[in-house]
Structure 1
Amino acid sequence: MKNSMLIISTCVALLTTGCQNPTNKNQDTPVHTDTNTAVHDDHNSQNSLDWAGTYQDTIPCADCPGILATIKLHEDGTYSYSAKYLERKTILQDTGRFMWHNNGSVVHLKGKEIDTKYKVGENVLLQADSTGNIIKSEMSDKFSLHKVL
């Protein structure tokens, strides 16, 4: 009985050590010299895109041919907004400071006349909902403003 227990113990020990990976100095393994260095991908619209400038397009209007919307985003964090209703004498204008939301991907224009958010893309502002998500519908592409200057 003692011999069979000794044989079983030896077999288990051999199997356990046999399954371990041997150390081979010829293998290509990555060398980490500094464990305190972490790589972070902090790219966002605010720090990666040339977002400052003038964005403009004609957006749909329920009871007119369209609204010529113009948004100017300035490097100093201010904006100007203009909405001219086509074939009418109505012009909505506002200025103020904008805020960055959603980790620097959405601008929030909140002034006396407007309270709206846009996701900032490459040379485009995409209309966003109150939480900063792009509004998805059949008409959503018609509400984007493209950079003109």
Structure 2
Amino acid sequence: MKKTLFVFGIAMITLVGCKNEEKKQVINAETMDEVVSDVVDEHNSQNSLDWSGVYEGTLPCADCEGIKTVIELKEDNTYTISQTYLKGPENTEEFKNNGTFSWDEAGLKVILKNGEETSQYKVGENQITMLNANGEMTEGELADFYILKKK
């Protein structure tokens, strides 16, 4: 009798275990894309990061050693920019400007405006990255030189 109950118990456990395996859903790349697209995330650089502050770095330059750039983004959506063209140890040109900036619809980029001139920067954690005229990241060997770090 004990052997019969023991065998019956093992058979039930095996059946229940197999049945649970059938209920598991396999998540592949397509399924994951569907799940991710259904999730609405309202977090972005504008509302999640401590973006206001001073950023600096040296941008590439075609006819000089680089452009030392300092940008201050302020809470009131104004900015100040200082750019120094490094043309040699004693030969530099400095330009200072200020203006207003706005955020793109996604809250990931700031658009600096000064008269008719505009420039775009992607805002990240303690850094901003200068974007090209189309609002895209620069790729290639020089990509890291377009990043300005927060002081």
Q: Would the TM-score normalized by the shorter structure come out above 0.5? A: yes
The alignment partner of 1:46 has SS state of helix
Aligned letter for 1:49? Answer: L
Q: CA deviation at 1:125?
A: 0.7
Which of these residues, 104, 128, 136, is aligned with residue 125 of structure 1?
128
Stretch of structure 1 that moved more, 80-89 or 47-56: 80-89
Q: Distance in 2 between matches of 1:58 and 1:113?
A: 24
Match of 1:109 in 2: 112
Structure showing greater radius of gyration is 1
Q: Does 1:77 align with 2:77?
A: yes
Q: Distance in 2 between matches of 1:102 and 1:141?
A: 25
Structure 2: runs of 5+ lacking an equivalent: 1-38
Match of 2:18 in 1: none
Count of matched residue pairs: 111
Q: Report matched runs for 1:80-99 at 5 Å.
A: 80-86=80-86, 87=88, 88-99=91-102
1:86-124 deviation line (CA, Å, top 9, x unaligned): 233311221111010141000011104842100000011
CA contact (8 A) 1:125 1:146 kept: yes
Q: Stretches of 4+ moved more than 6 A in 1?
A: none
Match of 1:146 in 2: 149
Q: Between Structure 1 and Structure 2, which shows a larger proportion of helix residues?
A: 2
Match of 1:53 in 2: 53
Stretch of structure 1 that moved more, 90-99 or 49-58: 90-99
Match of 2:103 in 1: 100
CA contact (8 A) 1:99 1:108 kept: yes
Structure 1: runs of 5+ lacking an equivalent: 1-38
Match of 2:42 in 1: 42
Q: Distance in 2 between matches of 1:131 and 1:142?
A: 18
1:59-91 deviation line (CA, Å, top 9, x unaligned): 222222221100000001000011011233311
Identity of aligned residues (%): 45
Q: Distance in 2 between matches of 1:138 and 1:78?
A: 32
The alignment partner of 2:47 has SS state of helix
